[in-house]
Structures are given as C-alpha cells and as structure tokens.
C-alpha cells in the first residue's frame, strides 16, 4: 500500500518533470544540444528567462521569508524538486553572486533593501558581481584603497577592483570602500550596493589560464552612490563583508538552499552526491582492452568524491541554518571552502587520468571530450583554491582559530 505522502511526492515529481520537459531548451541533454557561449548575451538571456520560469513555478527561492520574495514549501517538497532538477540538469541560474547579497541583507539590510533587492535576485531579474579584491588588497582585504567620500546624500567613489567573477554579466555590484582614511583598521570601511549602469563606472577583462576572461577589472571615476545604498553603518563595512565571505566560502552548499543549480556540461556534477556522470565516463573509456570501470583505483576515487559530496551537502544545510540564525563564526565556511575547492582539483585530475592524452585537447578541437568542458573545469579549479581567501590562508584560520595553534 502506498502512503499518502509517497503518492504526493510521486505527483510532485511528475509535475516537475513535465515542467522541465516543457521549459528546457530544445535538444537539452542530448549530444545535439549546443549551449550558448558562456557570458554571451544569449547565455545571459537564457539564464534569466529560465530562472524566472523556475521562480514563477515555485521551484526556487527556498529558505527565505515570503515578504522578501521567498518561496515557502515543506522540506520533502524541496527535496523532490532539487532531486528532479539535478537529475535532468538545467541552464545555469541567474543572479550571479546574488545569493551572497541575500545572506548579507538578511543580517544587515534595512527592510526597504530586503524588499527591493532580494526578490529581484530570486526571480532572475538582476545578476550581481563583487567589488572586493584590488591590485594590492587581495587576501588582505582590510587594505582596500578604493575611496568613497560623502557629498550630501551621495558617496563619490574613486579606485579600482580586480578579479571580479562574471564581470561582464553584472547588473548590480556590492562594493567595499574606504570611507575614513584616518580611521583604525577594520573600522574605516563601508559596504555599498550600486547599479552597474551608473556614470563613472567601467569594466574590462582579465585573461586567465583557460583562455577565457571570466574575471575582470572594475574602475571608478567619480562614480556616485546614493547614501541609502549603504548596507550597515558607516565604518562597519568590514563586519558586513565578513557575512558576505561566510556565504561565499560556503559556496554552492549554501546557494543550494535556494533551489536548483545549473549544469551545461554533460560531465559536470549535477547534484551533490551524484557521480553517475563519472561512472558513465569510466565505463565508456577503454584502455588495454578493458573498461576503466574495472580498475579498482578508479572506482575508489569516484566513491571518495561521492562520499565528500554527501558530507558537503549536509554540512551546507547546517551552515545555511547557522547563517540565518547568526551563529556562524566564519570558521565553518572556511572548512567548506577548502573541502569544496580541493575536491574540484581532485575531480579534474581524475577526469584527466581517465581520458588520458585527450586531456590535452581544449575547446574548439573536434576531438576534445564534451567540447573541452572537463579540461576547462580542471584548469579553472586551480583558481578556485585562490578566490574567497586562498586555501593557505584558510588553513591558517583553522589552525589558529579552531585548533588554537600559534601564529607563524
């Protein structure tokens, strides 16, 4: 006999599958599907339109109050929805780094800021980028030199930021500026939000190892920001930024609280704990007349990734709850950041090991596996260990603040 809850879950599962069948791009999930170039206008439009459809259907925006645009569903419904979105894969969702803004505003924002910005992030209206790192203030974030000077009800900003992810996609940006040049360290910074169409703002690309320009530079030349766009109090921007960094270092585990994720490449992990793609790759790759799936060492590495994924999934749920309850210290997110980014390197290296000499073929080569996507991810994974605080610095944080070891 099937229980009532099981029947409801089955009906919801069928509903989500029908939604995906009707709303995913033509030929999605088949070898014939050709995704738009990353960061192209076509890709941005697809991301925004699909996110809006997902939001309108009630399949994303979880974990937030309804008055700010959140979608309220029982835990079992959220689980079913995430499973189905993960199983089929979806276009990357819009918002950029908007989930970091959501977490930051939930702790520090005014009611007006929460009601205005959060819904526009959840429904895919606005993509967000980050203005933190500078040429001389990367890991030492407190050393930012971009200046904001008060002029009536506005702040006039001058300076430069760099290593901005998704720089060309941003509709809005969150920005850390020095507002009191003579003030003490950590108490001389303020946190702002600004529209990327504001006069005096410009941006340009930074080319990286993968050949892409996923990161960029931001320039401010007498750009004006309304005072009402300051988050938190003047001079308290460091503490606001720490909330943002906790969410950033929590990464996809925290963002997953919002709903579905996107997976354009057939070989990307489509859900935490799902390694079916790696199993399929190993089974379909033959070496010396044998399938690599018969290699116990390959199977052990895949199991290792699956185990870590499950651990990260539960850790992410715990961390998300701690952020909402304001009990997160920041140390928890540092642990997650190290685990997630080191696993990215491990996974990329394992794919290179499986495909052998084909790992030398990049995008554009007709012989490249999945149009070079897995190798692109492998190269990009090196950068992931640097952003949001390099893993070396994160390890120092754990050793000093958690383990109580002496500073170097």
For residue 35 the two structure tokens come to: 């995704």
Comparing C-alpha atoms, which of 248, 254, 238 is closest to residue 394?
A: 248
180: number of Cβ within 10 Å: 14
Helix, strand counts (H, E) of the chain? 12, 10
357: number of Cβ within 10 Å: 8
Terminal-to-terminal C-alpha distance of the chain: 63
What single string gives the DSSP state of each residue in 148-214? EEEETTEEEEEEEEEEEETTTT-SEEEEEEES-TTSPTTSSEEEEEEETTSTTEEEEEE--TTS---
Task: Examine the residue annotation and report whether 248 is marked as an active-site residue of this protein.
Answer: yes
Cα–Cα distance measured from residue 204 to residue 334, given in angstroms and rounded to the nearest whole number: 30
Comparing C-alpha atoms, which of 262, 261, 293 is closest to residue 278?
A: 293
Q: In sequence order, what are the residues at sequence separation of 6 or more whose Cβ sits closer than 8 angstroms to the Cβ of residue 27?
A: 33
Cα–Cα distance measured from residue 271 to residue 85, given in angstroms and rounded to the nearest whole number: 9
Comparing C-alpha atoms, which of 81, 103, 89 is closest to residue 29?
A: 89
- Active-site residue (options: 84, 134, 217, 248): 248
Residues marked as catalytic: 248
């Amino acid at each position: 006999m099937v229980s009532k809850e099981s029947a409801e879950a089955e009906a919801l599962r069928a509903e989500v599958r029908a939604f995906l069948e009707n709303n995913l791009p033509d030929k999605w999930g088949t070898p014939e599907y050709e995704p738009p170039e990353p960061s192209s206008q076509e890709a941005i439009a697809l991301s925004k339109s699909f996110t809006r459809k997902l939001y309108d259907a009630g399949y994303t925006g979880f974990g937030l109050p309804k008055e700010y645009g959140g979608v309220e569903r029982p835990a079992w419904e959220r689980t079913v929805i995430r499973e189905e979105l993960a199983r089929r894969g979806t276009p990357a969702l819009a918002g950029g780094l908007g989930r970091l803004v959501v977490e930051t505003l939930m702790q520090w924002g005014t009611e007006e800021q929460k009601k205005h910005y959060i819904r526009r992030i959840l429904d895919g209206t606005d993509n967000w980028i980050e203005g933190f790192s500078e040429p001389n203030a990367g890991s030492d974030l407190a050393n930012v030199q971009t200046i904001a000077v008060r002029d009536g009800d506005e702040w006039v900003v001058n300076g430069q930021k760099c290593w901005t992810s998704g720089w060309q996609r941003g509709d809005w940006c969150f920005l850390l500026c020095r507002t009191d040049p003579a003030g003490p360290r950590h108490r001389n910074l303020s946190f702002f939000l600004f529209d990327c169409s504001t006069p005096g703002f410009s941006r340009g690309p930074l080319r990286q190892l993968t050949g892409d320009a996923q990161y960029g530079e931001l320039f401010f030349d007498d750009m004006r920001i309304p005072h009402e766009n300051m988050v938190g109090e003047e001079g308290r921007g460091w503490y606001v930024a720490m909330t943002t960094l906790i969410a950033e270092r929590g990464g996809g585990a925290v963002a997953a609280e919002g709903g579905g994720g996107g997976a354009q490449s057939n070989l990307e992990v489509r859900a935490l704990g799902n390694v079916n793609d790696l199993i399929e790759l190993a089974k379909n790759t033959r070496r010396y007349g044998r399938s690599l799936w018969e290699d116990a060492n390959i199977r052990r590495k895949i199991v290792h990734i699956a185990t870590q994924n499950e651990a990260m999934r539960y850790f992410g749920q715990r961390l998300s709850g701690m952020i909402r309850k304001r009990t997160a210290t920041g140390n928890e997110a540092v642990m997650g950041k190290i685990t997630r980014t080191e696993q990215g390197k491990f996974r990329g290296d394992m794919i290179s090991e499986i495909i052998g000499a084909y790992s030398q073929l990049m995008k554009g080569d007709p012989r490249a596996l999945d149009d070079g996507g897995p190798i692109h991810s492998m190269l990009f994974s090196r950068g992931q260990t640097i952003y949001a605080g390099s893993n070396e610095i994160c390890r120092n944080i754990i050793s000093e603040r958690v383990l109580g070891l002496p500073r170097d």
